[in-house]
Amino acid sequence: MQPVKALPLSTNKPAVLAQIRAAKSAHMRWRAYAQAIVSGVEIDDGKLPIKHTDCSFGRWYYGKGQVLLGHLDAYEGIAAPHEMLHAIYERIYQILQGAEEKQGLSRLWTSKETLARKRAAQAREHLEELIGVSDTLIKALEMLEQEVRESE
């Protein structure tokens, strides 16, 4: 990947801060989809797990966000938790779809209800992990906001 030339933040700091807030909102909506799927709510295909670079937040982060903010220290602290969130969400989705059971023999001796309860419990455990990582991401975004506010 080629180095990206940083744009001066002072030219339009309010617009940059608005973009960070919009990215944070996009992340919170995405987190709500993960919570909904664990709660048993059907979500449409557009809300299923995708690669971390393909979600609305990821497109901003690796696009405009990188151009505007990639030179800031706080920017780098966002990538790892964001990528981890997508991995956890994918794991939750696979659990709820019974991906592991389809490969094993346990489903032959276990009732559907028991398997569903087991999947739900596993998904809730992963959801707790996802929420913790999400909180880390939100804090990283707040640090980025602060760094932008303090920049010249």
* Packing angle, helices 13-38 and 79-96, rounded to 10: 20
Q: For 89-99, what is each residue's pLDDT tens digit?
A: 899 988 988 86
Given phi > 0 = left and psi -120 to 50 = alpha, else beta, which region is 40?
left
User: The whole model's pTM is what?
Assistant: 0.79
Burial environment of residue 98 by CB neighbours within 10 A (0 to 12, 13 to 18, 19 or more): middle
Cα separation, 119 vs 131, in Å, equals: 18
Beta carbons of 69 and 144 less than 8 angstroms apart:
yes
Q: For 107-130, what is each residue's pLDDT tens digit?
A: 555 678 888 888 889 999 999 999
> If one looks up domain 13-150 in CATH, what number appears?
1.20.120
Q: For 38-87, what is each residue's pLDDT tens digit?
A: 888 887 766 676 788 988 888 889 998 899 899 999 999 999 999 999 99
Mean pLDDT taken over the chain: 83
Higher pLDDT, 135 or 4: 135
